[in-house]
A = this chain, B = another copy of it.
Amino acid sequence: MPDQNEPDVPRPASRRRAIPEATVARLPVYLRCLVELAESRTATVSSERLADLAGVNAAKLRKDLSYLGSYGTRGVGYDVEFLLFQISRELGLTQDWPVVIVGIGNLGHALANYRGFTARGFRVVALVDADPNKVGEHVAGLHVRPLDELPAIVDDEGAAIGIIATPASAAQEVADRLVDAGVGSILNFAPSVISVPDGVSLRKVDLSIELQILSFYQQRRGTSAVG
């Protein structure tokens, strides 16, 4: 509640205090649990219960939430709707995020049709592919546009987030063009390490890496059971 500007904040430009990366990565999980609670007409929730739903330690949850402010009530818990709004706001989900998908193959198709998108502020505004045969095709109510329209897409539709769903060989090139066009955040599905300039956010989702990690632990389990 004493939300104002504290005197001895170290630096972080505008905000209260810097929120640790690990915490930021968990906020969406808490948000999802809160949405479910709200749907089941639950008014308040304790840190213990919410932590349980989110699959984390209760102390960690409280510490995470404390970075946003003191939004709980001692002896009671957290107001579901209120906390839900606070996290949404902190994550920037109270506004609309236009998204452009590059690479309309199998995965691009699936992503374009994914309903979980629009649910929370994200809106696919354009589909792009380098293949002239794909350009013009209709997918999920949009027509596929050529790669060199990226700048126009960013300027006109305001796309700030780009999703790369191309083959690995094209990923870096596409990333460069997205950055040049003015995209500030990239989500890379291509099985390839790509690099972006400072100031551009990059996250990756990599199916085969996940499988290989599972393989490691599965093998280990197997050998220790057999041997």
* Residues of chain A whose beta carbon lies under 8 Å from any beta carbon of chain B: 1-2, 4, 7, 9-11, 13-15, 21-22, 24-25, 27-29, 31-33, 53-55, 90-93, 95, 97, 99, 106-107, 109-111, 113-114, 116-117, 119-122, 160-161, 184-187, 191-193, 195, 199, 201, 203, 205-224, 227
Q: Is the CB of B24 within 8 A of A216?
A: yes
Task: Give A187 to B207 CA distance when docked, in angstroms.
Answer: 9
- Known A-B contacts A109-B106, A208-B120; the reply to A214 vs B187 at CB < 8 A is yes
Query: Residues of B contacting A110 with CB < 8 Å?
Result: 106-107, 109-110
Contact of A14 among B11, B109, B214, B224 (CB under 8 A): B224
Copies of this chain present in the complex amount to: 2
Q: Is the CB of A217 within 8 A of B55?
A: no
- Known A-B contacts A54-B193, A109-B110; the reply to A212 vs B21 at CB < 8 A is no
Task: Report the nearest B residue to A97, measured CB to CB.
Answer: B215
Task: Supply 28 A–B pairs (Cβ within 8 Å), ascending by A.
Answer: A2-B22, A10-B220, A10-B224, A11-B221, A14-B224, A27-B212, A28-B206, A29-B193, A32-B192, A32-B193, A55-B193, A92-B218, A92-B220, A97-B211, A106-B110, A106-B113, A106-B114, A107-B114, A160-B222, A185-B215, A186-B214, A199-B221, A201-B214, A201-B217, A201-B218, A201-B221, A203-B214, A205-B205
Query: Residues of B contacting A191 with CB < 8 Å?
Result: 32, 116
- Additional 6 contacts, C-beta under 8 A, given A24-B216, A201-B214: A13-B223, A25-B213, A161-B215, A187-B210, A203-B210, A205-B207
A30 to chain B, nearest CB (A): 10
Contact of A195 among B55, B91, B106 (CB under 8 A): B55
Query: Residues of B contacting A11 with CB < 8 Å?
Result: 220-221, 224
A94 to chain B, nearest CB (A): 9
Task: Give A18 to B93 CA distance when docked, in angstroms.
Answer: 41
Task: Report the nearest B residue to A55, measured CB to CB.
Answer: B193
Query: Residues of B contacting A107 with CB < 8 Å?
Result: 110, 114
